[in-house]
Homo-oligomer: A and B are copies of this chain.
Amino acid sequence: MSSIRVLIAEDQAMILGALAALLAGEPDLTVCGRAANGREALRALTAERPDVLITDIEMPEMTGLTLAAETRTRFPATQVVILTTFARPGYLRRALEAGAKGYLLKDRPAAELAEAVRRVHRGERVIDPELAAEAWASERDPLTERERQILWRAGEGRSSAEIAAEVHLSEGTVRNYLSEAISKLGAANRIEAARIARQKGWL
């Protein structure tokens, strides 16, 4: 009986090593590669053709979400498990749309990781239970592309005038979009709006 071959992508080297050590303790799993970002992961996928890819979301070079989408089209035999800190419905939705089969939070017990790998390898889906419930109850991203673009800049501390110059719009229009975003999100001002959008994974 051959073991399940796993590739891990995670930008924090120490966590990457620790996760590898964790899975090394499982007799039916083999860590066949490690990657520090999305680009490295693609190279390793080509070379190793692993059964399962475990990836973080927020990484430099290429996020785990785009990596998941790439993997589905170019390496359909490899199942993807997202492993992240963020319990954001927006992230979960995007992960599933990108073809990920698993979505696991870093605050779950360590034993669940190996179990999740086995289950997606058997063709099952593994979604963090709490998050799954919340995602169903939670509304989807109400922001337009423009609103997102402008709200993001506002969240960085830029003024309406600065944003207007950056995106080639009039200052009044920028304030319009912000006003729209604020009311859609039920916030009191641009700061709170940015905070809410970030927290839901819409920014």
Instruction: Give the interface of A toward B (CB within 8 A).
Output: 11-22, 24-25, 83, 85, 104-113, 154-159, 187-195
Interchain residue pairs A-B with the least CB separation, the first 7: A17-B110, A157-B192, A18-B18, A157-B191, A21-B22, A18-B22, A12-B106
Which residues from B are CB-within-8-Å of A24?
21, 25
Apart from A14-B109, A14-B112: 16 A-B pairs, beta carbons within 8 A: A13-B106, A13-B107, A13-B110, A14-B104, A14-B113, A15-B15, A15-B18, A18-B19, A18-B22, A22-B22, A24-B25, A155-B191, A156-B195, A157-B187, A157-B193, A190-B191
Instruction: Judge whether A14 and B157 touch: CB under 8 Å.
Output: no
Instruction: Judge whether A109 and B17 touch: CB under 8 Å.
Output: yes
Q: How far, in Å, is A193 (CB) from chain B's closest CB?
A: 8
Q: What CA separation (Å) do A68 and B61 show in the bound complex?
A: 35
Question: Nearest residue in B to A156 (C-beta to C-beta)?
Answer: B195
Instruction: Judge whether A18 and B157 touch: CB under 8 Å.
Output: no
Instruction: Judge whether A14 and B159 touch: CB under 8 Å.
Output: no
